[in-house]
Chains A and B, each alone.
Chain A
Amino acid sequence: MKLTLRVWRQRNTGAPGAMSTYEVDGISADMSFLEMLDTLNEELILKGEDPVAFDHDCREGICGACSLVINGDAHGPERTTSCQLHMRSFSDGDTIDVEPWRAAAFPVVKDLVVDRSAFDRIIQSGGYITAPTGAAPEAHATPVPKPDADFAFEHAECIGCGACVAACPNGSAMLFTSAKINHLNVLPQGAPERETRVLDMVAQMDEEGFGGCTLTGECATACPKGIPLVSITSMNKEWLRATRKAGKR
């Protein structure tokens, strides 16, 4: 198929950006969206033009590197990552807009590449269980009820891609932050740091300049791993509980 692409081009963080238009031909329905961009880049290089920069690595939907807003949707029309989106979701003759994540806390590095280090700093503020190597008790010492283990897993599935932030009109990172808090707080191993974790991570999230949640639900709709919107509710409950407990001390 033949497509018209309108792609966000921006030299670096400080430079102004704009949409540029490219035609690509001979695109097969079996190609992934990123393979289609590879095709465009091969042509651009041979023409002596600067290829389009975009983040990608595993191309299996698990590393969380790829991050394209396609026709206005984070990761495009299917509920998956940009790398797992295939061209069979488009038709011959389509015009497709390709943009980077847009959020105050994710500055553009170049073209479609953004800086998501704010996510790392949220994890650093408390998204872990303090368990230095060697200090672990026997794994079966503490059974974890299966429903709790499953709940933890479903939240631990977050790949940190940032689609939730890109999709949210407020640029909020509450789905990302709540996923990690819920993963760790439900487990007995996570209990000793339950309160500090939620208080510190939420504080860091605010400090990074992410917006608040107004329950539009766009985050959960865009999430390629299906982290549910109620995850945010659980985090809010955890935060309230921790705040009250801290008040009593």
Chain B
Amino acid sequence: MSTDYTSYATGEPVADTKAPKGPVNERWDTRRFEAGLVNPANRRKHTVIVVGTGLAGGAAGATLAEQGYRVVQFCYQDSPRRAHSIAAQGGINAAKNYRNDGDSVHRLFYDTVKGGDFRARESNVHRLAQISVEIIDQCVAQGVPFAREYGGLLDTRSFGGVQVSRTFYARGQTGQQLLLGAYQALSRQIAAGTVEMHPRTEMLDLIVVDGRARGIVARDLITGRIDTYFADAVVLASGGYGNVFYLSTNAMNSNATAIWRAHRRGAYFANPCFTQIHPTCIPRTGDHQAKLTLMSESLRNDGRIWVPKARGDDRPANEIPEDERDYYLERIYPSFGNLVPRDIASRAAKNVCDEGRGVGPGGQGVYLDFADAVRRMGRAKVEEKYGNLFDMYERITAENPYEVPMRIYPAVHYTMGGLWVDYDLQTTVPGLFAIGEANFSDHGANRLGASALMQGLADGYFVLPSTINDYLARNPNHDEITEQHPVVQEVLADTEDRLNLLLSVDGDRTPDSFHRELGELMWEFCGMARTDAGLRKALERIPQIREEFWRRIKVPGTGEEFNQSLEKANRIVDYLELAELMCLDALHREESCGGHFREESQTPDGEAARDDEAFSYAAAWEFTATGGAPVLHKEDLVFEYVHPTQRSYA
């Protein structure tokens, strides 16, 4: 192992200077009042680049354009309608309390801080809970067809880890419907000429001039042309980095390049090891597997999770009698049962499989059984609630979940870590903002179900459009820059050199073979359970894979054409660096919290043991050089309202 990399230095603490003091429920109002404003007539003089068109990016692009800014927006997909937010199934949380079941903004705030295992910033989370109610109003006004009751009012359901029904949904396609709402709002602005949309165009680097983010380098994926785009501020809404693991529920082309390149240009990367492993995915079937498919955890509302009591019991599920089944979540966590938070459900599944009680091929699965639900509610009701999910499961596995229990297994799903941002969602590079999954801000060490959609839309529709004004108002006159600027020339040359190198190695291994190798390493050593020894092993191996990559990669074709192998290889370059930082972050955080479980840090009964004394901070890493030790900057987390307790879901 390169001991150089692990002997990182600890630099100055990093602090959020933007969140106002005072009562937590007044901070957002105060900030909006204190923030500078840009005169409506002046807004059209400002250009804002938005990278990504998911919930956060789509919402931000549309809203900034509505405010009068000139927006230049990018997505790698052929249409802004296809961003991976579209695949979110279950729902979106909002503290509407329509059920009169004791919900409130404060309760959503409390649940989110607790669910995040006390590693999120209180100010941000409270703002998120406040804004949640406006999101529902906004989406309904756009025509998002949420599920409704017969009286015509909105239906809600309860969702993983909470005891109130605050989740709004559109069958199993909530993400799709919310994204289409944002896409349609964005389309209106494209038609109005206020958003200049560049589909099939991928950001490859960030341009920082005089310490400020001033533009990006992007490649037209059809012609291969590399261009520069300039602006007064840059917003990254490029999503998470779960594809480091190769197999994940992310879309095949979701990638970390935008945030990683921004990190290399000075933006701190916070809590990279906080990844969420989702408990209800369809188990893999073989080495050919290219990605994993999530089954909405709303299924846990009515499905019961179990494995056989005896190890190695290979009878078909329906032949195993009731008293020989172990409904382990109901047994271990009687009050939350099958609805415990995701990290807990995932780890419990891993534990029973490690004990040799897993089911299906390779023993890597547990049952999610709807027999009771069908008996209780009738098949028609189950079909109405979960029909499309059951169809999807049957399509993939050729098994009928109305008749035999589903098989599920955890898979990488979401990354809580991301670019460090302050309360204004600004990174450590002035003028560079990160929103949605691309930032680290609101979910701490574990995200609650139905909160990703809430955060993406909160950032995009409401937070960023208010806070970015402050930056633009304080920096009204940026110098004109052109492609001839020496910094721009340097960034352009870097990008071209990187792509040319990839094309010229002409080795004997495909991009996918490296991606798979890295992913397997990360899943084994930086997955559901992490150890000091395992992480050190991964940290030793990653630089070796990286070295081999640059020696043996084979990318066919040229850079001046539509070349999917080149796109893929270039993304892997960044995964090979980001993976190292994830392992280092996991190694340094010698506690278990949320999705980060260190085997050395557990309670006598095998639950995660947090160490608030030593680790009640967000770890923001500063880049130094490829393979060189980063610098750690700690942001202390202060809990004034929700006092840290060891999470208990028993």
Name A's B-contacting residues (CB within 8 A).
11-12, 28, 30-32, 34-35, 38-39, 42, 44-46, 48-51, 53, 55-65, 78, 80, 84, 86, 88, 109-110, 113, 115-117, 119-120, 123-125, 127-140, 142-146, 149, 152-153, 156-157, 159-160, 183-184, 187, 189-190
Contact = CB atoms under 8 A, between A and B. Distances in A.
Given A139-B96, A139-B154, A133 B63 contact: yes
Interface in B143-174: 143, 145-154, 170-171, 173
A146 B150 contact: yes
B286 interface: yes
Contacts of A116: 78-79
B141 to A, nearest CB: 4
B562 A63 contact: no
26 contacts: A31-B286, A35-B288, A39-B288, A45-B511, A50-B556, A58-B87, A59-B251, A84-B396, A86-B395, A116-B78, A123-B81, A124-B187, A127-B184, A128-B188, A131-B185, A133-B59, A133-B138, A134-B134, A136-B138, A139-B136, A139-B140, A143-B153, A144-B152, A183-B143, A183-B145, A187-B143
A62 B86 contact: yes
A34 B94 CA distance: 37
B392 A65 contact: no
Nearest to B284: A30
B508 A157 contact: no
Given A123-B183, A146-B152, 17 more contacts: A11-B561, A30-B285, A30-B288, A48-B554, A48-B556, A57-B251, A60-B87, A80-B395, A120-B80, A120-B190, A124-B190, A139-B136, A139-B137, A143-B151, A143-B152, A152-B143, A189-B141
Interface string B170-194: 1101001100100111011011000
Interface string B229-260: 00000000000000000000001111000000
Interface in B443-471: 461-462, 465
Contacts of A53: 562, 564
Contact of A156 (B86, B145, B396): B145
Interface stretch (B5-13, B205-213, B289-297, B316-324): B289-297
Nearest to B562: A110
B79 A120 contact: yes
Contact of B392 (A30, A61, A109, A159): A61
Contact of A58 (B84, B137, B150, B462): B84
Contacts of A109: 222, 562
B512 A38 contact: yes
A46 B96 contact: no
Contact of A28 (B142, B286, B510): B286
Contacts of A149: 145-148, 152
Contacts of A39: 288
B138 A131 contact: yes
A88 B554 CA distance: 32
B625 interface: no
B143 A189 contact: yes
B137 A136 contact: yes
A161 to B, nearest CB: 10
A51 B465 CA distance: 42
B62 interface: yes
Interface of A is mostly: loop
A45 B512 CA distance: 10
B334 interface: no
B175 to A, nearest CB: 8
B102 interface: no
Contacts of A56: 252
Contacts of A144: 148, 152
Contacts of B145: 149, 152-153, 156, 183, 187
B82 A64 contact: yes
B520 interface: no
B86 A58 contact: yes
A39 B516 CA distance: 14
B66 A140 contact: no
Interface residues of B, number: 79
Nearest to B138: A136
B398 A57 contact: no
Interface in B364-420: 392, 395-396, 398
A88 B148 contact: no
A157 B87 contact: no
Nearest to A115: B78
B325 to A, nearest CB: 27
A42 B565 CA distance: 10
Nearest to B59: A133
Interface in B70-86: 77-82, 84, 86
B312 interface: no
B557 interface: yes
Contact of B564 (A31, A51, A152, A160): A51
A131 B141 contact: yes
Given A57-B77, A139-B96, A113 B465 contact: no
Contacts of B293: 59-60
Contacts of A58: 82, 84, 86-87, 251-252
A119 B171 CA distance: 25
Interface string B607-634: 0000000000000000000000000000
Contacts of B82: 57-58, 63-65, 160
A157 B392 CA distance: 15
B356 interface: no
A104 B79 CA distance: 19
Nearest to A59: B291
A50 B562 contact: no
A24 B528 CA distance: 36
Contact of A88 (B152, B154, B286, B398): B398
Nearest to B180: A156
B36 interface: no
Nearest to A34: B290
B20 interface: no
B199 interface: yes
Contact of B78 (A65, A88, A139, A190): A65
B176 A46 contact: no
B187 A123 contact: yes
A127 B181 CA distance: 10
A153 B170 contact: yes
A57 B184 contact: no
Contacts of B641: none
Contact of B81 (A132, A160, A190): A160
A134 B466 CA distance: 11
B98 interface: yes
A28 to B, nearest CB: 6
Nearest to B175: A62
Contacts of A63: 77, 82, 84, 86-87, 251
Contacts of B62: 133
Contacts of B288: 28, 30-31, 35, 38-39
Contacts of B556: 44-45, 48-51
Nearest to B192: A124
